[in-house]
Amino acid sequence: MKLTQQRTAILQLVTNSDHHWDAEAIVVALNNQGRKIGNATVYRGLQALEQAGMLTSLPINGRKHYELGGKQHHDHLICTACGQIKEFCHPEIERLQLEMAAQNAFVVHDHQLVLYGTCQACTAKSNRAQA
């Protein structure tokens, strides 16, 4: 893969944050930094970076959100109200997944666990609105 200036800019943006980026947010952030980069260029760059293993994607509501590839395995909690994404890892969950695969003679190559719900702030906001 050729690492163009645009792909380098995308990779730096993702690398230098803990944010899970979608393509549109990347376009806005790079343009705000004074880097004029179009939607098609960002989409092609993200696809190339993901294929190269430099980024990984997480599908959320029909849109891919990207994070740095090669990170230690983790799962995600996603707030359906505000879109906040939190990462977590729990050894018991990992053990149970492998146990279930073994019981079913299934070889796991990869997996993603995504829990959808409401974060503490959005739950409190909802509770205040209902009171």
Contact, 67 vs 56, CB < 8 A? yes
Write the burial class of residue 41 (CB in 10 Å: 0-12 exposed, 13-18 middle, 19+ buried). Answer: middle
User: What is the DSSP code string of 55-101?
Assistant: EEEEEETTEEEEEETTPPP-EEEEETTT--EEEE--HHHHHHHHHHH
pLDDT for 1 beyond 80:
no
Every domain of the chain and the residues it spans: 5-68, 75-130
Q: What is the token pair recorded at 61?
A: 């509501």
Domain covering 5-68 assigned CATH 1.10.8.100 in the classification: no
- Going by pLDDT thresholds of 50, 70 and 90, the confidence category of residue 59 is confident
67, β-bridge pairs:
56
CA distance 17 to 42: 17
pTM attached to this predicted model = 0.78
pLDDT of residue 18: 86
Could you tell me the pLDDT band of residue 26, with boundaries at 50, 70 and 90? Answer: very high
Q: What is the mean pLDDT of the chain?
A: 93
The average pLDDT across 54-80 equals 90
Place of tokens 């990347």: 26
DSSP state of 43: H
Any idea which fold 75-130 has? Dna Ligase; domain 1 (3.30.1490)
Average pLDDT (40-65) is 93
- The enclosing H or E element of 108 equals none
